[in-house]
Amino acid sequence: MFPIRETFFVYLHIFLFMQKRFSVVLLKSARDFIFGLDIKTQTKIYSVLDKASYVNDPKLFKKIQNEIWEFRIQAKSLQIRLLAFWDKRNEEHTLVISTHGFVKKKDKVNKNEIDKAINDRKQYFENQ
C-alpha cells in the first residue's frame, strides 16, 4: 500500500467541507513575477493561493497595513510575498486582487512594495 500524505487529507477536508471565502485575481505584474519563477515554486504559490481562499490562516494570508494584505509563501529557502487587497463590491463573489510579488529579504515588507500595492489598488478601483 502507498503512503498517503497528511496534505491529501487536509485538502480533502477543505474541498468536501469548507466553503471558498474568496477568489484570487492576479494583476499582470503578479502573473509576470510568478511566471519568472521555476515550475516547482509556481506550483507552491498556486497551492498556497488556493488553500488561503478556503481557510483563515495568518501563516498564509495576513493583513499588513490598512487595506493591504500579503500571501505568504515559503518555497525552498525563499520567502515569497504577493501583496493584495479585497474587492467586496459583489456581495455574492468576493475577490482578492494580487498586485505584485517579490522575494522578501528583510523581516518587514519594504515600504516601496506597500506603496506600489496601494497605488495599484487605487488605479484598480478608478478603472472599474
- Note the pLDDT tens digit of each residue in 62-103: 999 989 999 999 988 889 999 999 999 988 889 999 999 999
Nearest to 53 by CA among 89, 24, 85: 24
Q: Which three cell numbers stand for residue 44?
A: 507552491
The mean of the pLDDT values for the chain is 88
| Segment 15-56, tens digit of pLDDT | 666 788 899 999 999 999 999 999 999 999 999 999 999 888
What are the angstrom distances between the C-alpha of 111 and each of 14, 62, 117?
Answer: 34, 16, 10
pLDDT band, very low/low/confident/very high, at 105 (cuts 50, 70, 90)? confident
Nearest to 108 by CA among 79, 86, 84: 79
What local confidence, expressed as pLDDT, does residue 91 receive?
Answer: 81
pLDDT band, very low/low/confident/very high, at 2 (cuts 50, 70, 90)? very low
Determine the Cα–Cα distance for residues 128 and 73; give it in Å rounded to an integer: 29
**Per 3-state DSSP, what percentage of the chain is helix, strand, and coil (rounded to 5)?**
40, 30, 30
Residue 118 has pLDDT above 80, yes or no: yes
Which of the four CATH numbers 3.40.640.10, 3.40.50.620, 2.40.50.140, 3.30.2310.20 does domain 20-126 have?
A: 3.30.2310.20
